[in-house]
Every structure is written in C-alpha cells, then in structure tokens.
Structure 1
C-alpha cells in the first residue's frame, strides 16, 4: 500500500486513511492482469505526493488542477527508466515502455476524481523483434515513447530513430513486433541521443486521422527548431516546433478536442531541472508549418518533478480530461520515478 510522506500527525493520518478507504472505489485491476500476463511480477511500494508546489497547498496551475501524485519504488531496477506511457481503463491501469527495451504494466488505485493512491500488479517483460529476439539483442532497445491507434501499438526508438509496430492488446507480453514503419533517411540520420523521442497517434476525427506525429528530442540550439514529422501510410512530411529556454521535447499526446500537448524537460547544470507543457492547435499541424503553442505549465526544482519523460491523456467517466506525467529515473538511486496527475480545465 502507499506510504505517506511523514508530514502528518498520527491521529490525522488515521482519520485520513479511514476517509480514503471509503472514498476510493474498488478500482478494477482486470485489465492490468490481462496484459503482460506472462511478464515477471515486481514488488513495489509508493509514497504519496500531496502537493505539487513544494511547501504550498495550491492545486490550481493555470488551466491545470493538480489531483495528486506518487513516488514509485520498485524492487527491480528494470522498472526504472520509464520513458513512454499509456493510460488505460479510465486511468485504472497503465502500460509503459522503458528506455532499455521493456514493457511495464500495472494497476492504479485512484479516488473518484482521479487522484492516484497506489500502484500495484506491476509486471515487466522485454520487447521482442520480428524474429522473437529481444530488442536488446538487436541493439534497438532505446525505446522512448509509445502510442495506441486503430492499427495497433507503436513505439519510437531514439538510437535507431525507428518506429516499431506491435499488435494490441499485449495479452502475454511475448507478442512479436509486426515490423518497422518505413521512414526516410532524414529521420534515420537524426543524432543518436536526440532523435525520435515523442510519438503520438492523431485523433480519429481529425484531418490527421490514421497518422502518427513524431518529434525529435532536441536541436543544435534554441535558434534551431525541433524537427517534427507527420508519419502516414503514404509517406512522411515534416514540420517544425519552436525551441526555447533550453527545453527538450520528451513526449506528446493529443487531447480529446484535437489539440496537442507537448511535454518538455530541462536537465542540465545551468538550469538544474525543469518541466514545461505546451498546448498546440492540432489543426495547425500541417506540412511545412512552424508551430509554437501556448505554455500551460512550467515548473522547476521547487516542484515535485524529476526527469519528466512520459505523458498520457485520458478521459474519465465524467468526461474530464486527465493528464498523467511520469519521470525517468535513469535507474539511479539519485533520481525518482514520479507519477503525477492533473485535470485539464476547459
């Protein structure tokens, strides 16, 4: 069960625990048990993050309302390095991908408004190539993002600058890759450590239906735009996103209204650590476009963030839009796996 950070009195904690026990629905873990069924189970515990802005009780951050967060501590280091995320079953389950080529799934216990309370039923298993060998054996395991579309599951790999196609659902986790998406030399030639980092499938009712949006992590400097691509069955077309303040793109996800949320991260000695979310008009994503979007959230070391790399969007049973953010701890004892939830106020 989740272990609260030690900033409450024992009496208050007991009352709050009893309240949460009543308030939290018996969230289903069926989906978490049905995917990666042959994966290895991992013991884990969580610490609840009560406030996003450290030392402050505010929950409103522009268009976002902070619902709550968790720090995940797993018994196996392979659960670290979480770099891509899908939010499943109204937020009750998740599928993630690690930057060393593993699937990770789990169940999320949450309150009726989406506040995460605990993470359980965690399993992991390596991604397999078309030949049944692991991606690590194929040196294509630097997997950074994943997205789900009608044609299946897609995963981006930064070092190879490739997009892998997998079947959905992953019943056992032993399913083989269907194949790689055909990409032009321009994408293949992106720098190995700053290549395809973000990947998301366009909404079904948009002008981009049936296409993927892939975004490079970085560029030579702030004066150079981020390379972005519209990847479709008939080819690939490019557009650009303005880069600024030394932020790198780490993930992206479409909103129910067709808008795009771009998650960016700073992680350097000059700026220390930083997180930024930009909202981009989905209708403006066209070949040759140069886009900037609107900043809807920016945070630094004074907030409960780490190396933020994964973003997922889902709508709950009330029709509310929920953003889930996840950090990559690089499998280091000096970093954390942080799981954050926000509600987007339309």
Structure 2
C-alpha cells in the first residue's frame, strides 16, 4: 500500500523522488508514545453512517513508536497488539480508568535483512490460548507463525497465493470458528468491476501444509480488503479501504460482514455492508482490525490506521467501536437458521 500512495503523491508533485521506492525505515528511538482523544461528530451524525456500530472513542498516537501499523490483534482484557509493516510490535493497554501503558519492540522474524519484504506484515491472527500469532506477509506472499514470545516458528509460501503480486498480497487473515484459516487478497481482480478479490481457505494451519481452497470474495466496488476478524458467532467482519484522493491524502472505509457458512466451491462469497467510515469522522488509512467480546453481550471492534511513515500527511489513529451482534445484518446462512 505504501508504494502506491507514494507514487500517487509523487504524481501530484508533493513528494521528493526518494519516495519512488520504499524508504529504509529508521531504527526505533525508544518507546515514547502519546495518546490524544479525538473529537467526534454528534451521535445522530455517526449513526447515519455507522449503522449498528457505536463509536466509543478515537485517539491519535504520536511519538517515535507510532507509525506503520497494519495489523491488530486482541491480547488480554482491553489490551491490543499492533504490528507494523516494518516488523515492529506495539503492545497497548487501553483499560478504562487505568493509566495508558505500552511496550514496543521488534518481531523475531527469521529473515534479518533490511529488505522491506522480509518484514512487511500486513495481517495477523492470535490464538488466545497459546499466544501463537499467524502473520500475513506482503511482497513474499507468505504466512508466518510466531510463538507467544514473538519469535518465528515456521512459515509457508503457499502456491495458492504465489501470483498475488508484490504489493497486493495477504492483507486480511483470520482463523474461523472451526479452525480453518481465511486469507483475502488486498486488491480486486482486474476485469471484475473492482469487486471480486481472490481468497484462500485453508483447512487448518497453513504453515503445517493444510489443504488450500481458492475462492472469490465480493466486497464493495473499488475498495481494498485490508483486514478480517472473526466474530464470536462465527461470522467474519472485513475492513475495506479506498484511497479517494492523493493530495491531500483522503481515504474512505467500509466494514462488511460475511458468513463462512455461505462459502460454496465455485461460487462467489458475498458480503453485506455494516458501516461507512466517512470523511467527517477522525479518519485515515485504517488497515488493522481486532474483535473481542465486550460488556453486556456487546462485541468490541478496534481499528488502527497505517500512516505509511508519512507523518506530515497521515496519522496513526485508534478507534474503539462496539455492537450488539443481534443488530448486525443477516447473511444468507444466518437468515436460514433464524
């Protein structure tokens, strides 16, 4: 994603030529981080676009360790782990009423080169029992499994994702309720009206050689699929993002829902719109999404944006949303069982 944004800005004449290629990322300068709450539109205005979702809060992260986050997973109660496309991790403690705390470090990836593709994490899923984390790596189109200490255990470059390109790979990854893994390609397939995305459904752990089923996922027109998360009821939320304008950088977002029970070999897996992320909200390049059980039967949905290390033009934002699952749109399968 960063290369495409940089190219568009360059065309607009706002970026020096060094950004034609991916920049070398600076070494971390410590874990200094500040959290600033953002103003929100009024509740009626939010409800028009967010539908059943409630925006509980929005914050901007600033500091040396705030930048490049493209994946987000829940850890413990009100704690999150953000992972950057530079191979860094950020542990956030967002407990209500408690002091804001965080930790920052480097992933223990086996590849130690300075090439971006060797640390370009774009998606993640964390097993709450073992602490193992599966990472979707763009550029090399690989899935990497990390242990609870964030050290690499194993990886696979599945033939099912081999032709996904160097900048349009496994941007969305989640494990389904039955143990299968779902991976979505970021960009729509050409010739499909900007709606159909290649996807792979692994029968089990991809890095252990699980069989892969190719399929197509239908999202909103001309949006990229940038993350996915499994709800407690087994359905899947997919975060979609579109670059609307390069100067100044303007993004649009969507959250859609799809039911794995609707997946049929040879048929397109369809989704339904849940929410619109509009420009009058605190909005940027949202790429990471985490889901967890909340209070009183609600589900929390956390989003994080990737500033592409272009802090003069973009921000690292964190959203907390919540929803009553019963208010989410019903998919074909859920209509049949009600």
Paired residues for 1:299-318 under 5 Å: 299-318=277-296
How many residues are matched?
A: 284
Counterpart for residue 179 of structure 1: 154
Residue 199 of structure 1: which of 146, 165, 173 is its match? 173
Question: 2:68 and 2:314 mapped to 1: Cα distance?
Answer: 10
- The CA RMSD measured in Å over matched residues stands at 2.5
Residue 136 of structure 2: which of 152, 156, 160 is its match? 156
Does 1:341 find its partner at 2:315?
A: no
Does 1:167 find its partner at 2:141?
A: no
Change (3 A) 1:343 1:221: farther
Question: TM-score if structure 1 supplies the norm length?
Answer: 0.75
Question: 1:192 and 1:327 mapped to 2: Cα distance?
Answer: 21
Secondary structure class of the residue paired with 2:232:
coil
Secondary structure class of the residue paired with 1:306:
coil
Question: 1:201 and 1:213 mapped to 2: Cα distance?
Answer: 6
Unaligned runs of 5+ in 1: 1-38, 112-116, 204-208
Counterpart for residue 189 of structure 1: 163
Aligned-residue offset at 1:126: 3.3
The answer on whether the counterparts of 1:90 and 1:316 sit within 8 Å (CA) in structure 2 is: no
Residue 278 of structure 1: which of 221, 236, 256 is its match? 256
Aligned-residue offset at 1:145: 0.8
Aligned-residue offset at 1:56: 6.4
Question: 2:180 and 2:274 mapped to 1: Cα distance?
Answer: 25
Unaligned runs of 5+ in 2: 1-27, 205-209, 327-338
Question: 2:191 and 2:224 mapped to 1: Cα distance?
Answer: 10
Residue 46 of structure 1: which of 28, 35, 45 is its match? 35
Question: 2:232 and 2:44 mapped to 1: Cα distance?
Answer: 29
Aligned-residue offset at 1:125: 1.6
Counterpart for residue 98 of structure 1: 84
Counterpart for residue 323 of structure 1: 301
Residue 237 of structure 2: which of 261, 273, 278 is its match? 261
Question: TM-score if structure 2 supplies the norm length?
Answer: 0.77
Counterpart for residue 228 of structure 1: 199
Aligned-residue offset at 1:119: 4.0
